[in-house]
Amino acid sequence: MNFQIYAKNLALSDETKNYLEEKMQKLGLRAKKMISARLDISRDRHHRKGNVLRVEINLSLPHKLLRAVAQEEQVESSFDLALKKLNKQIEKYKEFDR
């Protein structure tokens, strides 16, 4: 399984990186046909108040690209929200793939 994590306009702690890598490994077990996954994390510059982080997960499957985006104040919570959205798409893909 090939997955990449990119962070833009912020630094990720080792604890956060480990959390994200662990969750991405579990995602790979759920989507057995996964070719690659890319996780983009960035600080949203459009909001003038508060700390808003944007997480985007792109999952490459045979003949399909699944994508989920979420925005929250914490990296972990925005990642979990995007992962929840992506899991719903994986279930739909599995039903369609049969």
Residue 73, domain CATH:
3.30.160.100
Q: Name the band, by pLDDT with cuts 50, 70 and 90, for residue 48.
A: low
**Model confidence over 52-77: pLDDT tens digits?**
889 999 999 888 899 999 999 889 99
The residues, ordered by sequence, that sit 6+ positions from 93 with a Cβ below 8 Å of its Cβ are 31, 61, 64, 66
Query: In terms of residue numbers, what domain contains 66?
Result: 2-97
Amino acid at 11: A
Helices 75-97 and 14-30 cross at an angle (nearest 10°) of: 10
**Model confidence over 11-47: pLDDT tens digits?**
999 999 999 989 888 887 777 778 889 999 998 776 5
Q: What sign has the CA pseudo-torsion 62, 94, 65, 24?
A: negative
Single pTM value for the model: 0.85
Phi, psi of 58 (to 5 degrees): -115, 125
Q: Name the band, by pLDDT with cuts 50, 70 and 90, for residue 82.
A: very high
Total count of domains within the chain: 1
Local structure of 66: helix, strand or coil: strand
Could you identify the residue written with the tokens 């690659």? 36
Q: Is the pLDDT of residue 97 over 70?
A: no
